[in-house]
Amino acid sequence: MVYLFVSIPLDGHIKPALSVAAALNGRLAAAGSSEVRFAALSRDRARVEAAGIEFVDLGDLSPDDNLELERLKAATIGTSDAASAATFDMFTMLEAKMLPPLLKAIDTGSADVIVADFAAMAGHDAAEARRLPLVVLQQIPLGLALLCSGHNSYNLPSHVPLEMAGPLMQPERLSLLQRAVNPLLKRWVYTRIAAMTGPRRAAARKAGGLVAAQGFGDLEMMGWGAAVPRVMNLVSGVMDLEVERELPPGWHMTGPQNVAINDQTFPMPLEDGPVRDFLTQAEEADQPVVYVATGTIVRLTQGQVDAVVEAMRAVEGARFVWSLPKESQLLLSSDFHAWSQGRVLVLSWAPQQALLSSSQVELFVTHGGLNSTYEGLAAGKPLVVMPFFGDQPVNAQHIVNKGLGAQVDPWTLTAAKLTRAIEAQLADREAARRVAELGARLRRQSGAQRAAELLERFGRQ
Segment 96-137, tens digit of pLDDT: 999 999 999 999 988 999 999 999 999 999 999 999 999 999
Residue 268: inside a domain: no
Residue 120 near residue 98, CB atoms below 8 Å: yes
CA 243, CA 245: separation in Å to the nearest integer? 6
Helices vs. strands in the chain: H and E counts, helices first? 17, 13
Residue-range definition of the domain harbouring residue 115: 2-257+446-460
CA 315, CA 393: separation in Å to the nearest integer? 25
* Per-residue pLDDT at 77: 94
Do 151 and 287 belong to one domain?
no
* Per-residue pLDDT at 213: 52
Do 241 and 285 belong to one domain?
no
Residue 263: inside a domain: no
Residue 241: inside a domain: yes
Residue 452: inside a domain: yes
Do 191 and 48 belong to one domain?
yes
Q: What is the CATH number of the domain that holds 44?
A: 3.40.50.2000
Burial class (CB in 10 A: 0-12, 13-18, 19+), 54: middle
Residues 6+ apart with CB under 8 A from 70: none
CA 146, CA 1: separation in Å to the nearest integer? 29
* Per-residue pLDDT at 380: 98
* Per-residue pLDDT at 219: 62
Which amino acid is residue 78, in one-letter code?
Answer: G
Do 173 and 117 belong to one domain?
yes
Do 247 and 291 belong to one domain?
no
**Strands of the sheet with 35-40, listed across from one edge:** 54-57, 35-40, 2-6, 113-117, 134-138, 231-235, 251-253
Spans in the chain with pLDDT lower than 50: 214-217
Name the packing angle between helices 11-29 and 447-460 (round to 10°).
60
Q: How many domains is the chain partitioned into structurally?
A: 2
Segment 196-235, tens digit of pLDDT: 888 888 888 888 888 765 443 456 688 888 889 999 999 9
* Per-residue pLDDT at 275: 96
Do 407 and 345 belong to one domain?
yes
Residue 378: inside a domain: yes
Is pTM beyond 0.85? Reply is yes
